């Protein structure tokens, strides 16, 4: 059977300190300064210490000195204070992590709200234009609902004469026939230009007609004024026909371009060409040109 508690032997400073509810340093100091009943087995470089529980109880009880208040080593924090500091440090770290998570979450929510607000203010689902219009110095593309989905700004005011919506291998396109007003001090004539835009508003190419034409014994110089546009498919690819006439006299032109803006042919008429149409034939679409013939003195 085990010994009764009164005769229990404690065989190390660690067991003695544990029995007292203190650390080892405090137990050693009490032995030196307050007569804590500790025994040593002689011999060896470090004598073995032991104590009896009943002697420690007597020292702690009425027959011995009263239990001293807990003493701390110099520089050591009280246990409760140390525990409080550790808890405070742990909470600070958790609070820092929480602030970081909340900050990132707030940024994500703000970005989502900004994106949602943008779609609320601009609810157009289709960013490809369905029609073109001139607005001051801007060429604007509007979707089927009439909302502006893109803008192209030019250096001067202009007039949109006509436009053609066509479908190419790279998607939707617009051929736009524009006349630009001269600068007030320039003293130049109106200048026509042909532009090709993607459905999303990216400019792909442009043409400023600079043809110097020798026709029927005379020379005809630019600028050339525009009349009409037509776009149509051919076995060789998409073709854009642009009807022009001289800014003063009678020669008329039809310039043909492929989808990349390369000129593929031209037709010269003694008279103005005022309309272009696409007609069917057994071999595929054909280009029809109408206007005035000076040589025939008729339409």
DSSP 217-242: TEEE-S-EEEEEEEEEEETTEEEEEE
Query: In sequence order, which residues have a C-beta less than 8 Å from that of residue 170 and are 6 or more positions away?
Result: 198, 259
| Residue 268 near residue 215, CB atoms below 8 Å | yes
Q: Is 273 exposed, middle or buried (0-12, 13-18, 19+ CB in 10 A)?
A: buried
d(CA 18, CA 267): 112
Query: Which of 5-9, 207-211, 292-296 is predicted least confidently?
Result: 5-9
Residue from 292, 298, 260, 258 nearest 275 by CA: 292
* pTM for the model: 0.54
Looking at per-residue confidence, does 83 or 272 come out higher?
A: 272
Residue with tokens 């003695």: 16
Q: What is the pLDDT of residues 172-224, one digit of tens each?
A: 888 888 888 765 554 556 678 899 998 888 898 998 888 888 877 778 888 88
d(CA 110, CA 103): 11
- The pLDDT of residue 82: 54
d(CA 189, CA 186): 9
| Residue 63 scores a pLDDT above 50 | no
Residue from 31, 59, 58 nearest 47 by CA: 31
Q: What is the pLDDT of residues 246-292, one digit of tens each?
A: 877 778 889 888 888 899 988 888 888 888 888 888 888 888 988 88
d(CA 122, CA 69): 76
| Residue 224 near residue 192, CB atoms below 8 Å | yes
Query: In sequence order, which residues have a C-beta less than 8 Å from that of residue 27 and are 6 or more positions away?
Result: 13, 16, 17, 20, 36, 38
- The pLDDT of residue 79: 54
Q: What is the pLDDT of residues 101-150, one digit of tens each?
A: 888 888 898 888 887 776 555 544 446 788 899 988 899 999 988 899 99
- The pLDDT of residue 111: 86
Q: How confident is the model at residue 157 (pLDDT cuts 50, 70, 90)?
A: confident
| Residue 30 scores a pLDDT above 60 | yes
| Residue 76 scores a pLDDT above 50 | no
Q: How many other C-beta atoms can be found within 10 angstroms of the C-beta atom of residue 220? A: 20
Looking at per-residue confidence, does 168 or 182 come out higher?
A: 168
Residue from 111, 176, 182 nearest 150 by CA: 176
Three-point CA angle 55, 60, 63, nearest 5°: 80
Looking at per-residue confidence, does 242 or 84 come out higher?
A: 242
Q: How many other C-beta atoms can be found within 10 angstroms of the C-beta atom of residue 185? A: 6
d(CA 299, CA 296): 8
| Residue 243 near residue 189, CB atoms below 8 Å | no
d(CA 181, CA 192): 9
Helices (H) and strands (E) in the chain, counts: 4, 18
- The pLDDT of residue 72: 46
- The pLDDT of residue 62: 44
Q: What is the pLDDT of residues 87-104, one digit of tens each?
A: 666 777 777 888 888 888
Question: Which tokens in the block code for residue 298?
Answer: 């008729």
- The pLDDT of residue 73: 46
- The pLDDT of residue 86: 63
d(CA 5, CA 17): 16
């Amino acid at each position: 059977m085990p010994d009764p508690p009164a005769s229990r032997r404690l065989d190390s400073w660690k067991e003695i300190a544990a029995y007292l509810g203190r650390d080892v340093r405090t137990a050693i100091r009490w032995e030196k300064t307050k007569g804590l009943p500790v025994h040593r087995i002689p011999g060896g470089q470090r004598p073995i210490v032991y104590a009896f529980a009943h002697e420690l109880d007597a020292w702690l009880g009425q027959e011995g000195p009263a239990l001293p208040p807990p003493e701390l080593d110099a520089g050591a924090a009280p246990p409760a204070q140390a525990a409080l500091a550790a808890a405070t440090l742990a909470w600070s770290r958790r609070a820092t992590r929480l602030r970081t998570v909340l900050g990132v979450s707030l940024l994500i929510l703000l970005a989502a709200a900004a994106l949602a607000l943008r779609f609320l203010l601009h609810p157009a689902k289709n960013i490809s234009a369905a029609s073109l219009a001139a607005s001051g110095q801007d060429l604007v593309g509007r979707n089927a609902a009439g909302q502006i989905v893109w803008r192209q700004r030019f250096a001067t005011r202009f007039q949109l004469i006509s436009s053609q919506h066509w479908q190419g291998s790279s998607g939707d396109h617009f051929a736009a026939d524009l006349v630009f007003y001269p600068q007030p001090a320039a003293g130049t004539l109106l200048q026509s230009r042909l532009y090709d835009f993607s459905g999303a508003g990216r400019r792909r190419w442009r043409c400023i007609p600079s043809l110097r034409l020798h026709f029927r014994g005379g020379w005809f110089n630019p600028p050339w004024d525009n009349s009409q546009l037509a776009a149509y498919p051919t076995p060789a690819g998409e073709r854009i026909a642009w009807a022009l006439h001289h800014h003063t006299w009678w020669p008329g032109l039809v310039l043909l371009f492929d989808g990349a803006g390369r000129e593929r042919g031209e037709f010269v008429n003694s008279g103005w060409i005022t309309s272009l149409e696409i007609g069917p034939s057994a071999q595929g679409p054909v280009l029809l040109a109408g206007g005035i013939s000076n040589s025939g003195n008729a339409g």
